[in-house]
Amino acid sequence: MEAAVPSSPLALQLDHFADLAVQVGTPIEVGTTRRGRRRMIPIIGGQARGHGWTARVLPGGADYQLVVGDTHAELQAHYVMETDAGDLVYVHNRAVRSAPAAVTAKLLRGEPVDPAQVYFRCLPTFETASPTLGWINDRLFAGSGQRHPEQVVMSFYALA
C-alpha cells in the first residue's frame, strides 16, 4: 500500500530568535594540514538580543575553522551565553563561509570586506537548563552571519 502524499506540503517558517555580535580575538594559525588550513579564533565576549531577553557572550569560547581551498571555509564555534536573568546557554554553531578567492584572502588577513560578497550560513544548536528557555533544546535553528575584523554578527531563526 502506498503512503498518502499530502495535497499541500507543510511549509517551513522562520521565527526570529536572536541577533548576536560576538567579539573575537587574534586567530591562532595552526597551519595547513592534509585536510586544509586550520585556525582557532578565541571568542572574547559579545552580546545577544532576543525577544524579551538579552545576554552576554562569555569569554572562553572559540571558533574552529578549516579553510578548504581559496573560496570555502567550514566553521564550528563553541561558546556560552549568560542571559540577563542569569540563565546559561551553551551554543554550538556549525557554518559554511564561501566567497571569491580575493575576498576570502582579505577575510583571512583580518581585513574588512563587503558582506554581500560572502555566503555565510549557519546551523546553531543550543543547550540550556533554563526552564524559561528550555524549549530551545528541542528546536532546529538556522542563521546567517557577517564576519568583521573584530566581531561576527549573526541572526538566528527557529524553524517553525
Query: pLDDT class for 107, splitting at 50, 70, 90?
Result: very high
Query: pLDDT class for 11, splitting at 50, 70, 90?
Result: confident
Q: Is 36 left (phi over 0), alpha (psi -120 to 50) or beta?
A: left
Confidence check: pLDDT of 137 > 90: yes
> How far, in Å, CA of 92 to CA of 124, rounded?
6
pTM for this one? Answer: 0.90
Q: Half-sphere exposure of 123 toward its Cβ, with a 13 Å CA cutoff? A: 5
Domains of the chain and CATH, by start: 14-159 (2.40.160.20)
Q: What is the pLDDT of residue 6?
A: 64
Q: What pLDDT, in 10s, does the model give residues 41-74?
A: 999 999 999 998 999 999 999 999 999 999 999 9
Q: What is the pLDDT of residue 1?
A: 63
Report H helices in 34-126: 101-108
Confidence check: pLDDT of 32 > 90: yes
